[in-house]
Amino acid sequence: MSKVRVLVGTRKGAFVLTSDGKRERWDISGPHFSGFELYHVKGSPADPNRLYASQCSGWFGQLIQRSNDGGETWEPVGNKFVYDGVPGTHQWYDGTPHPWEFKRVWHLEPSLTDPDTVYAGIEDAAIFRSTDGGQTWGELPGLRGHGSGPRWQPGAGGMCLHTILLDPSNPQRMYIAISAAGAFRTDDDGKTWRPINQGLKSQYIPDPNAEVGHCVHRIAMHRSRPNVLFMQKHWDVMRSDNAGELWQEVSGNLPTDFGFVIDVHAHEPDTIYVVPIKSDEHHYPLDGKLRVYRSRTGGNEWEALTKGLPQSDCYVNVLRDAMAVDSLDKCGVYFGTTGGQVYASADAGDNWTPIVRDLPGVLSVEVQTLP
Amino acid sequence: MIRVVLPAHLRTLAKVDGEVKLEVQGLPTQRSVLDALEACYPMLCGTLRDHVTKQRRPFVRFFACEEDLSHESPDALLPDAVANGTEPCLGVGAIAGG
pLDDT at A202: 87
One-letter amino acid of A245 = E
Q: Which residues of chain B lie closer than 8 angstroms to A80, CB-CB? A: 45-46, 51
Would the CB atoms of B13 and A63 count as touching at under 8 Å? yes
Return the residue in B57, B61, B92 with the most chain A beta carbons within 10 A, the one to mutate for interface testing. Answer: B57
Overall average pLDDT of the A333-354 stretch: 98
Residue B97 predicted with pLDDT over 70? no
A35 CB neighbour count, 10 Å cutoff: 16
Q: State the nearest Cα–Cα gap between A57 and chain B, in angstroms.
A: 9
Find, among A229, A250, A263, the residue nearest to A365 by Cα. A263
Residue B12 predicted with pLDDT over 90? yes
Q: How confident is the model at residue B98 (pLDDT cuts 50, 70, 90)?
A: low
* Cα A317 versus chain centre, distance: 14
Instruction: Check if B95 contacts A (Cβ < 8 Å).
Output: no
CA separation for the pair A349, A291 (Å, rounded): 10
pLDDT at A111: 98
Instruction: Check if B48 contacts A (Cβ < 8 Å).
Output: yes
Instruction: Check if B13 contacts A (Cβ < 8 Å).
Output: yes
> How do residues A288-312 score in pLDDT, each as one tens digit?
999 999 999 999 999 999 999 999 9
CA separation for the pair A304, B26 (Å, rounded): 70
Instruction: Check if A279 contacts B (Cβ < 8 Å).
Output: no
Strands B2-5 and B89-93: parallel
CA separation for the pair A263, A365 (Å, rounded): 12
Query: B58 to chain A: nearest residue by CA?
Result: A59
The answer to whether the bond into B8 is cis (omega within 30° of 0) is no
Chain A segment 37-76 residues within 8 A of B by beta carbon are 57-63, 76
pTM of the complete model? 0.97
pLDDT at A170: 98
Please give the radius of gyration of chain A, using alpha carbons only, rounded to the nearest integer: 19
ipTM: 0.95
Would the CB atoms of A82 and B47 count as touching at under 8 Å? no
**Pairs across A and B, CB distance < 8 A:** 39
CA separation for the pair A256, A258 (Å, rounded): 6
> How do residues A145-161 score in pLDDT, each as one tens digit?
989 999 999 988 899 99
Overall average pLDDT of the A331-346 stretch: 98
A260 touches A318 (CB < 8 A): yes
> How do residues A223-282 score in pLDDT, each as one tens digit?
999 999 999 999 999 999 999 999 999 999 999 999 999 999 999 999 999 999 999 999
Would the CB atoms of A59 and B45 count as touching at under 8 Å? no
Strands A216-221 and A194-195: unpaired
> How do residues A182-239 score in pLDDT, each as one tens digit?
999 999 999 999 999 999 998 888 887 889 999 999 999 999 999 999 999 999 999 9
CA separation for the pair B41, A57 (Å, rounded): 19
Task: Give the rounded percent of residues in chain B with a pLDDT score beyond 70.
Answer: 97
DSSP H helices, chain B, are 8-14, 30-40, 80-83
A177 touches A163 (CB < 8 A): yes
Instruction: Check if A156 contacts B (Cβ < 8 Å).
Output: no
Q: Which residues of chain B lie closer than 8 angstroms to A36, CB-CB? A: 9
